[in-house]
Amino acid sequence: MASVDTALKEAMTIEGSIGVALVDYNSGMALGTLGGTKDFDLNVAAAGNTDVVRAKMRTMEMLNLGDSIEDILITLRHQYHMIRPVQSRSGKGLFLYISLDRQRANLAMARHHLSRIESDLEV
C-alpha cells in the first residue's frame, strides 16, 4: 500500500507528467499535489475537475448504469488530462488527477500506470 506522497511521486514518473493531484470531489480540495507550473495551478485544476466528476457521477446515477468510472480522459491540443476515481474503501470520494504533455506521453501506458497507483493507494 502506498501513501499519498508516494503515490503522487510515482505518478510524476509517468512519461510526460506535468502535475498530479489527489482530490476530494465532495469539497473540491486537493489533499496533495505535485508538479504543475507557474501557469498551471493544480489547486485550480483540482477544483474545476471536481465539477466534471460530480456531473458524470450524477449522470450515471440518473441513467441507472450501476457501473463505476475507471477514468475520464480530456484531450486538449497539447495535453491529456486524466481523472481516475479511487475505488478503495478508504479512498471513497477521492480521485487522482494527472496532466500529461501530449507530445511526450504514451496514453495507454499512462492509464495502466495510474490504474496501478490508484489500486495501491492507501489514504
Using CA atoms, how far apart are residues 98 and 118, in angstroms rounded to an integer? 12
Q: What is the pTM of this model?
A: 0.93
Task: Provide the 10 A C-beta neighbour count for residue 101.
Answer: 13
pLDDT recorded at residue 88: 76
Q: Which domain holds residue 67?
A: 4-120
Q: What is the pLDDT of residues 37-66, one digit of tens each?
A: 888 999 999 999 999 999 999 999 999 998
* Inter-residue long-range contacts of 50-59, CB under 8 Å, 24+ positions, other chains counted: 50/23, 50/25, 52/83, 53/25, 53/83, 53/85, 53/95, 54/25
Q: What is the pLDDT of residues 83-100, one digit of tens each?
A: 999 987 766 889 999 999
Give the domain CATH number at 88: 3.30.450.30
Decide if 81 contacts 49 (C-beta within 8 A).
yes
CB-side neighbour CA atoms (13 Å) of 12? 16
For the chain, the domain total comes to 1
